[in-house]
Structure 1
Amino acid sequence: MSVARTLFRLTLLAGALSPGLAHAAGLDGSQLSLLWALPFAGLLLSIALFPIVAPEVWHHHFGKISLGWALAFLLPCALWLDPATAGGVVVHAMVDEYLPFIVLLFALYTISGGILITGNLHGSPVLNTGLLALGAACASLMGTTGAAMLLIRPLLRANDNRRHNVHVVVFFIFLVGNIGGGLTPIGDPPLFLGFLKGVSFAWTFSNMLLPVLTACLILLVVFYLLDSHYYRKEGVLPRDPTPDNARLGIQGVFNFALLAGVVGAVLMSGMWQPGLDLNVLGVKVGIQNLLRDGILLTLAGASLALTPTTLRDANEFNWGPIAEVGKLFAAIFITMAPAIAILRAGPQGDLAALVALVSSADGSPINPMYFWLTGSLSSFLDNAPTYLVFFNLASGDATQMMTEYSATLLAISAGAVFMGANSYIGNAPNFMIKAIAEQRGVPMPGFFGYMGWAWVFLFPLFVLLTLVFFR
């Protein structure tokens, strides 16, 4: 039985346990100890260590291992709490969080895979820096996932004869998969949730503009210097596999219209609020969200039907990366539920000491701590609910957050978006970029190895941003 089928049956079983299950059986974070987060920690360690110590086992069985950690939380939850609570966790995680997440990723991955950028691009420092800058700019227009899936393949082809190309992909994750998406609610899920809570499009753009530009410019300069060093070190490069007479061009251009449809569907679900909900296995789902997901699946289907198979073959398109992300994040959404619940409990939860760090004795917000705590937790937990936890902790009122607590909202927004780059699971595109790069033969660093790159290049940047913007 496949992992996806197992999780689907668990969701149906959970939904059948009782009417209104997801509302009646939420986790009470104030009653949970941190021991309930051990399966989540085990899943993270598995993602980090298995590819190093047992790569073949992980490659063939990562889905089963992920499912095992999900059950390691759900079975004790059903026994020690009650089956309805365990079922409620599955239903909420799958219906309310995972399905919208994976449908959007599926649509962006499928449609962008139908766009082929051809030509004899040579991975010089100037070209690579230009592609990273273009991707960072596109990330706020079509989302970090859309921009990453559109440009990662031509970037890999341009550098397929470089001996040193790992740093190119790592900085691509930094810039295109994360920081570049910080200018608009379309760019990254936390900002979209803020948009749904009432944070205006204009506030996000105007307040995030300087931090995003500062971070991107610094990283682009650092990347150019690093790439130039490796380029000179390599000397005469091996023969470029791309024919010298290959002309620059774009095929599958109609898929750009489908990408625009994806952006439109996402904006529609945020701006159109008819107040009509449907009960899906006990979870209230807004009709605008169901319509959005239906449109996304239709657009993905249109791309599959209209894009010639030869074009996808030339793009070396396959379902491996999206399947890996789908299986891993299904388990991540389930196992992280107790950690999120404990955080939401605030002063009443086992992480009360951590939550207390963001407020001074008189109750005023400590903006640098909001930036670092939101960011640090977003590096490993899903950055969207982490953003909401601290948004609600600071005030929860969008008007107040955009005025009196504007600096606090900026710290929360930047922390959630920027520090998603700290680990492979900090933001969904990270894992997909890694998987595509590895399929193309790039020896990507392991979980901790990648965090080492982030520590060297991002930690000093975040310290600088704290001193400039979040004091």
Structure 2
Amino acid sequence: MLGPLVVCLWLLPVASALAQEAPAAEAPATEAVEAEHAPDTSATVAHAEEAAHAAADEHGPRPPVWLVLPFVILLVMIATGPLFYPHHWHHHYPKYAVGLGLFVSLYYIFGLGSTTPVVHAIEEYLSFIALVASLFIAASGIYININAKGTPRNNAILLFVGSLVANLIATTGAAMLFVRSYMRLNKGRLKPYHLIFFIFLVANVGGGLTPIGDPPLFLGFLRGVPFFWTLTHVWFVWLPTVLLILAVFYVIDARNKIESPDPDPSQPLVQIRGAKNFLWVLVIILSVFIDPNVFEWVPDLHELYHIPFGIREIIMFSVAVLAYKLADREALRKNEFTFEPIREVGWLFLGIFATMQPALQLISLFAHDHAEQLTVGMFYWGTGSLSSVLDNAPTYLNFLAAAMGKFGLDVNVPEQVRAFAEASVHPETWFYLQAISIAAVFFGAMTYIGNAPNFMVKAIAEENKVDMPSFMGYVTKYSLPILIPIYFLIYLLFYSGLFPGLDAFFEQLLIR
């Protein structure tokens, strides 16, 4: 677990020492506008375009397209390694992840004279691994045993409950809390599809109702989207999506005629050991809000000391250590806890965060340059398809910035983000935010790397001898044939323009 962190902390001072100092860009002067005069629309749009390109420039110089190749190579190796050369891959994947990541990072430093993308990658990675590792360790100290028979009905209930809980303790927290009890519930009849649908729902789609549920929604909250906006504007898409996925699961699980052991009548329905770790989980969730953008009294360590983490990450890493040291050892034993799943996630995502920076930059520039031509449906598919293989948080933010630029708004101004969400500037803006929010969360289920807990659930399942599908097997056998038809139905109903009466109904219900 410490290996990837050591690499990050080693690379940061190297990047800082080798960086070429760039003169600070002079902020453009703004002219005063009299209150009684209406704003010039063309000037507003032009200013928004300038702000969009300035935001893109903040990520460093434009990288060459070929610099995306290390990211593609790493994805191909993740897809093929466990399938075609498992022994070699298992022993050497950290070297490939770090090697490809270092290649991209050093090219930015030496080839482009910029450390900005490297620093961004380190900051994003540390925030990511702090949340994932702390929730993994804290939740692993809670042993939940459901004294029931593994049936399609009971499984569907657990998946639905897990989907709801994901909005309270994040998809990562819910996945780590329920995955082992879910596997025990299906003892003797556990198949790969059980874990695939668990990833679909608990680890992804379920967390689409609150900013706590998934990182892109929290990023939107930090930018100015009201906390309960997602719940009120997404539930009528979230609920049928969850029910449709559950219906497909029920049909598949009903064909599994193998029976799990009967419940023990002398035992309660639910047994919990290590319940004190719920307090650690609560501390982690609350610490998510300890951010200078939420509370002004929180010191910004990035600005004060130029370090790639904040108070939030310090709390999370501290909780990870304390939760493990003080955990109920019997609960850990019953959960068959090891550090291997978080170790694998830590190394692979270190490489992913480093190598995906060129792709994120190029996508950001493309989205800003073509925002005027992008329809709400294009934003839906664009955000979704890229969230399947890239970090969905920056993907969400890039497309949100582009969508706001269409209406002359700036994603860096909280009041304008709030106006965009509440459609006070234009009656259609909330559809754009809804489409981007839904796509960023839902499409994370398309691949193992689409969202943080996906790969971790896979690793935990494989530790328990479940023969999980390969990267391509997951996509071709499950996500493409099951999720894409459901997501296409969402597109037809809400974003294709084929049912304007439906759009008008919800617009009238929610906006007016």
Q: Do the two structures share a fold, i.e. TM-score over 0.5?
A: yes
Question: Which among 151, 154, 157 is matched to residue 130 of structure 1?
Answer: 157
Task: Tell me which residue corresponds to 1:11.
Answer: 12
Task: Tell me which residue corresponds to 2:284.
Answer: 262
State whether structure 2 residue 400 is matched by structure 1 residue 369: no
State whether structure 2 residue 247 is matched by structure 1 residue 213: no
**Cα 1:22/1:318, change in 2 over 3 Å:** farther
State whether structure 2 residue 364 is matched by structure 1 residue 344: yes
State whether structure 2 residue 458 is matched by structure 1 residue 427: no
Superposition map of 1:196-207 within 5 A: 196-207=222-233
C-alpha separation in 2, matches of 1:76 and 1:304: 38
CA drift at 1:192:
0.3
1:354-405 Cα deviation digits (max 9, x unpaired): xx3x644xxxx51111111000000011000000000100112312321131
1:61-110 Cα deviation digits (max 9, x unpaired): 1111111211332344444323xx2x44332211x211111111111111
TM-score (structure 2 length as normaliser)? 0.81
**Cα 1:383/1:22, change in 2 over 3 Å:** farther
Superposition map of 1:63-74 within 5 A: 63-74=94-105
C-alpha separation in 1, matches of 2:252 and 2:234: 27
Task: Tell me which residue corresponds to 2:340.
Answer: 320
**Cα 1:293/1:257, change in 2 over 3 Å:** same
Superposition map of 1:25-424 within 5 A: 28=60, 31-82=62-113, 85=114, 87-94=115-122, 96-162=123-189, 165-230=191-256, 232=257, 234=258, 237=259, 247=268, 248-269=270-291, 271-274=294-297, 276-279=299-302, 283=306, 290-346=310-366, 356=370, 359-360=372-373, 366-395=375-404, 396=411, 397-402=416-421, 403=423, 404=426, 405-424=429-448
Indicate the SS of the match to 2:255. helix
C-alpha RMSD of matched pairs (Å): 2.6
C-alpha separation in 2, matches of 1:192 and 1:437: 28
State whether structure 2 residue 480 is matched by structure 1 residue 455: yes
Q: Is the 8 A contact 1:23 1:88 kept in 2?
A: no
CA drift at 1:274:
3.8
1:400 aligned partner, one-letter code: A
1:260-279 Cα deviation digits (max 9, x unpaired): 22221113425313484334
1:220 aligned partner, one-letter code: L
C-alpha separation in 1, matches of 2:23 and 2:342: 27
1:261 aligned partner, one-letter code: V
> Any unmatched runs of 5+ in structure 1?
none
Task: Tell me which residue corresponds to 2:489.
Answer: 464
Q: Is the 8 A contact 1:91 1:283 kept in 2?
A: no
C-alpha separation in 1, matches of 2:69 and 2:104: 8
C-alpha separation in 2, matches of 1:79 and 1:44: 25
Deviates more, 1:15-24 or 1:266-275: 15-24
C-alpha separation in 1, matches of 2:346 and 2:470: 19
**Cα 1:119/1:217, change in 2 over 3 Å:** closer
1:251 aligned partner, one-letter code: R
C-alpha separation in 2, matches of 1:291 and 1:3: 20
**Cα 1:39/1:121, change in 2 over 3 Å:** same
CA drift at 1:19:
8.9
C-alpha separation in 1, matches of 2:100 and 2:23: 21
1:151-190 Cα deviation digits (max 9, x unpaired): 000011112301x511110000000000000000000000
CA drift at 1:323:
0.9
C-alpha separation in 2, matches of 1:75 and 1:291: 28
C-alpha separation in 2, matches of 1:434 and 1:147: 15
**Cα 1:160/1:373, change in 2 over 3 Å:** same
1:313 aligned partner, one-letter code: R
CA drift at 1:443:
0.6
1:185-234 Cα deviation digits (max 9, x unpaired): 0000000000000000121110011111111011111111110112x3x3
**Cα 1:345/1:429, change in 2 over 3 Å:** same
Indicate the SS of the match to 1:201. coil
CA drift at 1:433:
0.5
Q: Is the 8 A contact 2:19 2:109 kept in 1?
A: no
**Cα 1:145/1:275, change in 2 over 3 Å:** closer
**Cα 1:50/1:282, change in 2 over 3 Å:** farther
**Cα 1:200/1:158, change in 2 over 3 Å:** same
CA drift at 1:239:
6.2
Task: Tell me which residue corresponds to 2:507.
Answer: none
Number of residue pairs aligned between Structure 1 and Structure 2? 446
**Cα 1:113/1:311, change in 2 over 3 Å:** same
**Cα 1:414/1:347, change in 2 over 3 Å:** closer
Indicate the SS of the match to 1:381. coil
Q: Is the 8 A contact 1:14 1:88 kept in 2?
A: no
C-alpha separation in 2, matches of 1:347 and 1:415: 15
Deviates more, 1:446-455 or 1:394-403: 394-403
Q: Is the 8 A contact 2:367 2:399 kept in 1?
A: no
CA drift at 1:22:
13
Q: Is the 8 A contact 1:23 1:282 kept in 2?
A: no
Q: Is the 8 A contact 1:22 1:91 kept in 2?
A: no
Q: Is the 8 A contact 2:179 2:457 kept in 1?
A: yes
In our comparison, the structure showing a higher alpha carbon Rg is 2
Identity score, percent: 39
Indicate the SS of the match to 1:424. coil
Q: Is the 8 A contact 1:114 1:252 kept in 2?
A: yes
CA drift at 1:9:
1.7
1:140 aligned partner, one-letter code: N
Indicate the SS of the match to 2:210. coil
> Any unmatched runs of 5+ in structure 2?
26-56, 405-410, 497-512
